Structure formats: C-alpha cells, structure tokens
C-alpha cells in the first residue's frame, strides 16, 4: 500500500478529518474531473432528490449530461428542486416523479409507471434517507429505516432491472453512511424489536445492511450487466442533519462538507467503470469494517439477505 493510501486510511479512522471538509480538500487534488459529456444521452433516477445530497447528486448528474428524474415524496418540493437544477444547469432535462420509497406498494406503482414512460434507465441512485426519533413502521409493517434504506431500494432495483438491463452501462448506487461502522448485522432482530429503539442506531444498522447486501446484489445483477455500488458521502451539512442531529451539526459546524462535496463520489460512480459490489468513499473502495465487533459471518449476511429479499417481495433466482 502506498504512503498516500496509508494517510488516506488514517484520515478515515479519525472520522472528523476524513469524513469532514478537510478529507475532501486533501483528497480531491488527485481526482480527474468528470468529462462534461460523461453521461450525455443517459437517463438517471435519484431518490430523495429534492434536498441535501440527493439534490446535489441530481445536479452533478445533469452537469455531465444525464437526463435526471427526481424521485420525491412531495411534488411541490420536487418541482422547486427541479427549477433550481435547471437554473444551475441550463438546458438540463429534469423530471419529477412522486414516490414514498419506504412504501413497497408505492415503489411497485412508480416502477410500473416508469416502465410505461421510459425505455431505459442507466443510473439509479438510492439516496432517500431518514433518521426517525421513535420506532415507526411503513404501511407493510417494517421498521422505517429498514424500509427506506433497504427494502424500498431492493424492490425498486428489482422492478427496474428490465429497464436497467437495456443500458450499456447500468449502475445502481446506494447512498449509505460511515455511521454503519458502529453497527454489526443483527440477523435475529432485523426489524429492531428486541431492544429499546434508538433512531441513530436503527439508521446505522440499516446502513450496515446496505453495505452487507451490496456484494450479493452485485452478483444477482451481474448477468444482466448491472453494477451495484454503495458509498459514504462524508459528513455533510444538509437539512436532514440539521433536523435529525442538531447537536452534531452545532459541534461539527464548519467541518461539515457542502452537499456538492458529499455528492462527488456518487456522481463519479455513476460516470465511471469500477468493480461492482464495493463500498466507496471519496472515490476509493473502503473497508466494510474497522472494528472486530462489527464483523459477521457469511451465514449471517445470507440470513439478512433472505429476510430482506422476502420482505421486499423479490422473486428467488
């Protein structure tokens, strides 16, 4: 491993240095710019794109030529974000589609609508995220972080696979979080019923599941030419952070990244040919674990996959 990579890893282990604005500043010097026509003629969907990192990802994709559909749960907020993006990127093609991605019925409906409207999807970014203050469930009875970050994205990817397959380079990107480093898989309590609920823990557990399932999804969709990536945006100053973690935001303050800085790796993954099934941060594949206590067996990973695939209604293959 080169000295540059050792320094890079150390930055992440300090968390604040690697995941904050400084990490981005120190690393970006070595990054080539993404060609402005990298995604010309391609179509992209971004969930939770009316705000924060999702809006910045959608803007970044439009800047490199993609026609982008913002998948949002509130049409008015989506239309306002689309107007902002077209003002920032003149000539950009930006559409808005409504879907609560935690509701599996709504995900099925939106995938069916999209299949009638477009003949191909090249990039699908699962960005929508929540950190609920108390345990809540989606309409199908699944814990909300699990439903929003795992089950909805699993179902949407499966339902859109026929459209993704028509792309020459289909890429699915899950926006996870470095917070997942604090949590192991809990194959015996995936719905978080057995112990007192903490929103931040539920959030990190579901983000851990995203990372754990990424290699399984990469294998599942490889025969259809669809690559699957997971990424951590860094700690980013967004409306979501202000609302869910106000104390963290106050303490981290100016150390936090801008949404554009947080969006960079997702946009880069959408535009770049890299190996499928990995976890990325700042344009580099990163370890799945830093702490021994979060390591789990292949059997536990498989148990979590079996549960989530069944809960999302995925057909066995």
Q: Is 203 an active-site residue? A: yes
> Pick from 18, 20, 23, 48: which binds ligand NAP (CB under 6 A)?
48
Residue 233 tokens, joined: 């945006």
Question: Quick one: which of 44, 93, 49, 104 has its CA closest to 71?
Answer: 49
Grouping H, G, I as helix, E, B as strand and the rest as coil, residue 187 is coil
Question: Hey, which residues between 138 and 197 contact ligand NAP (CB under 6 A)?
Answer: 148, 175, 177
Task: Say which DSSP state 147 is in.
Answer: I
> Pick from 9, 63, 74, 109: which binds ligand NAP (CB under 6 A)?
74
Question: Quick one: which of 25, 3, 5 has its CA closest to 234?
Answer: 25
Q: Is the CB of 38 or the CB of 96 nearer to ligand NAP?
A: 96
> Pick from 16, 77, 109, 216: which binds ligand NAP (CB under 6 A)?
77
> How many amino acids of this chain bind ligand NAP (CB under 6 A)?
29
Q: Output the smallest distance, CB 102 to ligand NAP, in A.
A: 4
Q: Output the smallest distance, CB 275 to ligand NAP, in A.
A: 22
Beta strands in 31-66 (DSSP E): 43-47
What is the secondary structure of 270-291 as a DSSP string?
HHS---TT-EEETTEE--S-SS
Q: Output the smallest distance, CB 63 to ligand NAP, in A.
A: 18
Residue 101 tokens, joined: 């991605």
Distances, alpha carbon 299 to alpha carbons 27, 151, 217, 307, in Å:
36, 20, 16, 12
Residues, the chain? 317
Residue 107 tokens, joined: 């995900």
Q: Is the CB of 157 or the CB of 177 nearer to ligand NAP?
A: 177
Q: Output the smallest distance, CB 303 to ligand NAP, in A.
A: 24
Q: Is the CB of 41 or the CB of 139 nearer to ligand NAP?
A: 139
Question: Hey, which residues between 219 and 258 contact ligand NAP (CB under 6 A)?
Answer: 232-233, 235-236, 238-241
> Is residue 50 close enough to count as binding ligand NAP by CB under 6 A?
yes
Q: Output the smallest distance, CB 214 to ligand NAP, in A.
A: 14
Q: Are strands 94-98 and 67-72 parallel, antiparallel or unpaired?
A: parallel
Q: Is the CB of 52 or the CB of 65 nearer to ligand NAP?
A: 52
Helical spans, DSSP H, in 93-245: 104-117, 144-146, 152-165, 199-221, 239-244
Q: Are strands 123-126 and 94-98 parallel, antiparallel or unpaired?
A: unpaired
> Pick from 38, 53, 58, 125: which binds ligand NAP (CB under 6 A)?
53
Beta strands in 2-143 (DSSP E): 43-47, 67-72, 94-98, 123-126
Which window, 4-12, 47-55, 61-69, 214-222, contacts ligand NAP (CB under 6 A)?
47-55
Question: Which residue among the candidates 19, 181, 203, 221 is catalytic per the annotation?
Answer: 203
Q: Output the smallest distance, CB 255 to ligand NAP, in A.
A: 11
Task: Write out the residues near ligand NAP by the rule CB under 6 A.
Answer: 47-48, 50-54, 72-74, 77, 100-102, 127-130, 148, 175, 177, 232-233, 235-236, 238-241
Supply the residues annotated as catalytic: 203
């Amino acid at each position: 491993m080169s000295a540059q990579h050792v320094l890079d890893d150390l930055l992440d282990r300090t968390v604040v240095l690697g995941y904050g604005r400084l990490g981005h500043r120190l690393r970006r010097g070595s990054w080539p710019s993404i060609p402005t026509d990298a995604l010309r003629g391609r179509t992209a969907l971004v969930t939770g794109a009316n705000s924060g990192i999702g809006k910045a990802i959608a803007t970044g994709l439009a800047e490199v030529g993609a026609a982008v559909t913002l998948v949002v749960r509130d049409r008015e907020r989506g239309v306002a974000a689309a107007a902002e993006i077209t003002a920032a990127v003149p000539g950009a093609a930006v559409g808005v589609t409504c879907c609560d991605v935690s509701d599996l019925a709504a995900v099925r409906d939106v995938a069916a609508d999209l299949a009638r409207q477009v003949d191909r999807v090249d990039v699908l970014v699962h960005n929508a995220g929540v950190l609920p203050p108390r345990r809540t469930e989606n309409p199908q009875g699944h814990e909300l972080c699990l439903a929003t970050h795992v089950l909805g994205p699993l179902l949407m990817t499966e339902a859109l696979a026929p459209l993704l397959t028509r792309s020459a380079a289909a890429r699915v990107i899950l926006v996870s979080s470095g917070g997942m480093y604090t949590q192991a898989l809990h194959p015996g309590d995936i719905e978080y019923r057995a112990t007192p609920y903490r929103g931040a823990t539920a959030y990190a557990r579901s983000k851990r599941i995203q990372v754990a399932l990424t290699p399984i999804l990469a294998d599942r969709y490889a025969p259809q030419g669809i690559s699957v990536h997971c990424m951590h945006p860094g700690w980013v100053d967004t409306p979501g952070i202000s609302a869910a973690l106000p104390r963290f935001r106050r303490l981290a303050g100016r150390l936090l990244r801008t949404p554009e800085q947080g969006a960079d790796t997702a946009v880069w993954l959408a535009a770049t040919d890299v190996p499928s099934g990995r976890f990325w941060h700042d344009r580099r594949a990163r370890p799945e674990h830093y702490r021994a206590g979060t390591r789990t067996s292949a059997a536990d990973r498989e148990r979590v996959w079996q549960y989530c695939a069944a809960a999302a209604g995925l057909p066995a293959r």
